[in-house]
Amino acid sequence: MPCSLREDHSKYGSSRKYTTKNMSPEHTTEYWNEKAQDILKQKLVQVQSPTTNNAKNIIMFLGDGMSVHTITATRNFMGDSAKQVSFEKFPYFGLSKTYCVDSKVADSACSATAYLGGVKGNYGTIGVNANVPRFDCMAGLNVGNWVESIAQWAQNAGMDTGLVTTSRVTHASPAGVYAHTAERGWENDAQILNSNCSSKVNIDIARQLVEWPVGRKLKVIMGGGRSNFRNVTVNDEDGTAGQRYDGRDLIEYWIQDKRSQNVKANYVWNRKGLNSLNLNNTDYLLGLFSSSHCPFHGDLKRHNISTLVPSLSEMTESALKVLSKKNNGFFLFVEGARIDMAHHETKARKSLEDTEEFAKAVDLARKMFSEEDTLIIVTSDHSHTMTISGYPYRDEDITGLAADQADDGLPYTILSYANGPGFDNTYDKKGRKRITPEETIDPNFQYLATVPLASETHGGDDVGVFASGPFAHYFSGTYEQSNIPAMMAKAANIGTFRSAAGYIK
């Protein structure tokens, strides 16, 4: 190592005291050589025999805001840097470029259009191409600007479809499955009116979900967001008033619509209701488990509400049981939405808890279905500004303080953000604040941030794509986020990119 680099870190050599309590295999050269040999064997098998059967089923897992840094930190949160979250064991990995047509840094709306519809649009718009500016009351009505989603392709091919999310089911990411709108915030009619647009001409996202073709055909819809389905004069099951102005009860509409089709449909609003269902006797399932977003995963136990709200993995398992009853195959979209929302609040511990639960849901799905006929894709819509720094010891808690103090004599956290509300924990009028280890144990602790913002921003870096199953090898390399649905469609031989369409042989 050049002397100049060694000198840069000389203070760590003098202040850090590292002792090995027990010798482990990692201290030997043989351990690392054998580990490399195992990886080489795995890669050789993958290259020689990639699965090229048509995918009967496609499961797309979307960790909202799940940056590469988030995955790395989750490994450490689970116990050690050498660990792997479930989907890191998938045989193929790539990177997708997440920018929007009009923005270097994506939001969850334009990115949903890309990874579900194969077309990049403008920031804040869903299911429409870049001819639609955000908030434009008229451009989004032009069907020629609409983008079909892979859920629509799957339905056209006779496959069953569904979505699961820990956000409102009308939020930006799940809305990419079924909606077309110039503004992601138009989740109910009141929000359209607040934008000075007509709620009669512009159909809100909740109505699109229950009234328009793609949404109506979804066999499973689970997440939060009851308030967007009921009028302001109506309280939901836990006493929260609705947000609609038009007098509609869209939950009741969904129920009556399914009765008119003479299908076996169930609406549930809590975990008890979900667990009481006979899923083998359920054709359609609507589960709305919160007035707004579902709780952070760690809060389910901390707030004693795990008996009321199902976890992401529980919702995923129920959805897969409903969708897999028939032999026609299915497409399921699963979003771990609260990973992103915790990052926005610079509550890193909560984000890692939700990422760990997200990985559990992926592992559950992979074990339920064969790699021979089920393609599973795990990716993110965008990154965040959280970083890992400070030369921490291997056995240090990733959510704690760095091993050494900074040049101002004060400690700092291993995890930190480029911006966000954590700024208030970082500085006061006298300068940088002193952070204690006890503070970082609190799940609501807001990690240090450089720039003061009420909400931390997304990051613009590429995000990971992990693939397992038929045609998973397609997902290697670096590519546009909008390529993802094309590759999924090719694997299942559906939609615009099926072989019969003349594009790919």
In tens, the pLDDT along 434-454 reads 999 999 999 999 999 999 999
- Residue 299 to residue 161: CA distance in whole angstroms: 30
Task: Give the 3-state secondary structure of residue 494.
Answer: coil
In degrees, rounded to 5, the angle at the alpha carbon of residue 224 between the alpha carbons of residues 269 and 359 is 110
Residues 240 and 293 occupy one common structural domain: yes
Q: Where are the beta strands (DSSP E) in 70-111?
A: 92-97
The residues near 143 (Cβ < 8 Å, ≥ 6 apart) are none
Strand partners, 60: 333, 377
In this predicted structure, what is the pLDDT of residue 3? Answer: 39
pLDDT for 1: 38
pLDDT per residue as tens digits for the range 169-201: 999 999 999 999 999 999 999 999 999 999 999
User: Within a domain: residue 484?
Assistant: yes
Residues 446 and 481 in one domain: no
> Known binder of ligand: residue 384?
no
Could you give phi then psi for residue 7, rounded to 5 degrees?
-65, -35
Please check whether residues 168 and 233 belong to one and the same domain. yes
Please report whether residue 238 resides in a domain: yes
285 & 360 share domain: yes
Residue 21 lies in a domain: no
Q: How many domains does the chain have?
A: 2
3-class SS string, 336-386:
ECHHHHHHHCCCHHHHHHHHHHHHHHHHHHHHHCCCCCEEEEEECCCEECC
Give the separation between CA 426 and CA 404, rounded to whole angstroms. 17
Full domain range(s) for residue 230:
55-385+461-492
The average pLDDT across 307-324 equals 98
Q: How far is CA 342 from CA 63, 350, 362, 442, in A?
A: 12, 6, 20, 13
Res. 276 pLDDT band, cuts 50 70 90: very high
Q: Is the pLDDT of residue 107 over 80?
A: yes
413-434: pLDDT as tens digits: 999 999 999 999 999 999 999 9
Residue 283 annotated as binding site: no
Hey, which residues does 126 pair with through a beta bridge?
181
What are the angstrom distances between the C-alpha of 235 and each of 193, 245, 331, 469, 503?
Answer: 21, 13, 33, 45, 51
**What is the pLDDT, as a whole number, of residue 126?**
98
Residue 259 forms part of a structural domain:
yes
Please indicate if the annotation marks 473 as binding a ligand: no
Q: Are residues 440 and 471 in the same domain?
A: no
Predicted pLDDT of residue 12: 41
* 27 carries a ligand binding annotation: no
Shared domain for 335 and 433, answered yes or no, is: no
pLDDT in tens, 466-476: 999 999 999 99
**Does 127 score more than 90 pLDDT?**
yes
**359 pLDDT above the threshold of 50:** yes
Same domain, residue pair 447 and 470? no
From 43-52, 159-168, 233-242, 478-487, the region with the lowest mean pLDDT: 43-52
Q: Would you say 252 is a known binding-site residue?
A: no
- Final residue of a structural domain among 404, 427, 452: 452
> Is 395 annotated in some ligand binding site?
no
In this structure, is residue 191 part of a structural domain?
yes
In this predicted structure, the answer to whether residue 15 has a pLDDT above a threshold of 60 is no
- The CATH number linked to 323 is 3.40.720.10
Mean pLDDT of the chain: 93
Alpha helices in 91-175 (DSSP H): 108-117, 150-156, 172-175
Residue 114 has pLDDT above 50, yes or no: yes
Q: Which of 108, 227, 383, 416 is catalytic?
A: 108
CA quadruple 51, 52, 55, 61: dihedral positive or negative? Answer: positive
Residues 433 and 472 in one domain: no
Residue 439 is assigned to a ligand binding site: no
State whether 112 and 81 are in the same domain: yes
Yes or no: say if 494 and 54 are a contact pair by the CB < 8 Å rule. no
Question: Is residue 31, in this structure, part of any structural domain at all?
Answer: no
- The answer to whether residue 108 is catalytic is yes
In this predicted structure, the answer to whether residue 2 has a pLDDT above a threshold of 70 is no
- pLDDT at position 21 is 54
Query: Is 441 inside a domain boundary?
Result: yes
Domain boundary among the residues 434, 452, 470 is at 452
- Taking a C-beta distance cutoff of 8 angstroms, is the pair 367, 317 a contact? no
254 shares a domain with 235: yes
- pLDDT-based confidence at residue 14 (cuts at 50, 70, 90): very low
pLDDT higher than 80, residue 23? no
Handedness of CA 442, 342, 464, 48 (dihedral sign): positive
Please tell me the predicted confidence (pLDDT) of residue 383: 98
Confidence label for 9 from pLDDT (cuts 50, 70 and 90): very low
User: Long-range contacts made by residues 422-425, C-beta under 8 angstroms, separation at least 24?
Assistant: 422/346, 422/446, 422/447, 422/448, 422/449, 422/456, 423/448, 423/449, 423/450, 423/451, 423/452, 423/453, 424/452, 425/449
Q: Mean per-residue pLDDT for 294-323?
A: 97
- One-character DSSP codes across 160-189: EEEEEEEEETTSHHHHTTT--BS-TT-SSH
Identify whether 265 is part of a domain: yes
> Based on the domain organization, do 61 and 77 belong to the same domain?
yes
Other CB atoms closer than 10 Å to residue 442's CB: what's the count? 11
pLDDT exceeds 60 at position 504: no
Identify residue 73 by its one-letter amino acid code: A
Confidence at 64, pLDDT banded by 50, 70, 90: very high
Same domain, 479 and 395: no
